[in-house]
């Protein structure tokens, strides 16, 4: 998701409803394209199945929760209440996460821990999928998924 959408959404949440650290809020969601906020029951610990009133922060438009439910990505929280990691949306098979304690928060493959950018650079430099699978411990179907997504962005 482009930062041009994230920054104004965070500023809006701080200005309009006083959410100072929205990125750490358990009420913040994304569908991979927009920043969504759950305006239902302020302060409630909302789980994925309880989402009731999702709104696109940028436009103030309510989202049909039933339609986006399968695309929502939640931030996972540690026991101390702070964000631990986010599952990066946009992939069908690849399990890519951003974890501030690994690779400085850069997107990594959950299995193997390899940085997505490192694997892509090696592929574009000529390494085969078989070599990358062996070296990084990432299943071939996940590598192919990441390559497909990266190729669409480049096109």
Clarify whether residues 15 and 67 are in a common domain.
yes
Structure-token pair, residue 46: 């909302």
**Tally of structural domains, the chain:** 2
Does 7 fall in a domain?
A: yes
What does the pLDDT read at residue 137? 93
pLDDT at 73: 57
pLDDT value of position 44 = 45
pLDDT at position 67: 63
Whole-structure pTM value: 0.59
Encoded tokens for 152: 């669409």
Using 70 as the pLDDT threshold, list the residues of the chain that sit under it.
1-3, 41-52, 65-75, 81-82, 153-155
> Which pLDDT score is estimated for 126?
96
Last residue in a domain, options 74, 105, 136: 74
Q: Which residue segment(s) compose the domain that 123 sits in?
A: 96-154
Say if 91 falls within a structural domain: no
Query: Is the same domain home to 69 and 105?
Result: no
In this structure, the answer to whether residues 11 and 69 fall within a common structural domain is: yes
**Distant-in-sequence, close-in-space partners of 42: CB < 8 Å, separation ≥ 6:** none
Asked if 28 and 22 touch (Cβ cutoff 8 Å), the reply is yes
């Amino acid at each position: 998701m482009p930062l041009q959408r994230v920054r104004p959404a965070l500023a809006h949440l701080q200005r309009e409803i006083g959410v100072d650290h929205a990125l750490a809020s358990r009420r913040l969601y994304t569908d991979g394209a927009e920043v969504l906020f759950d305006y239902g029951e302020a302060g409630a610990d909302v789980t994925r199945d309880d989402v009731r009133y999702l709104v696109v922060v940028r436009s103030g438009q309510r989202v049909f929760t039933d339609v986006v439910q399968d695309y929502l990505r939640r931030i996972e929280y540690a026991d101390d209440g702070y964000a631990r990691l986010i599952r990066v949306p946009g992939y069908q098979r690849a399990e890519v996460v951003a974890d501030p304690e690994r690779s400085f928060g850069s997107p990594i493959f959950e299995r193997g821990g390899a940085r997505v950018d490192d694997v892509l650079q090696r592929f574009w430099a000529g390494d085969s999928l078989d070599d990358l699978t062996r070296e990084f411990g990432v299943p071939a179907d996940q590598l192919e998924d990441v390559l497909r997504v990266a190729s669409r962005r480049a096109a």
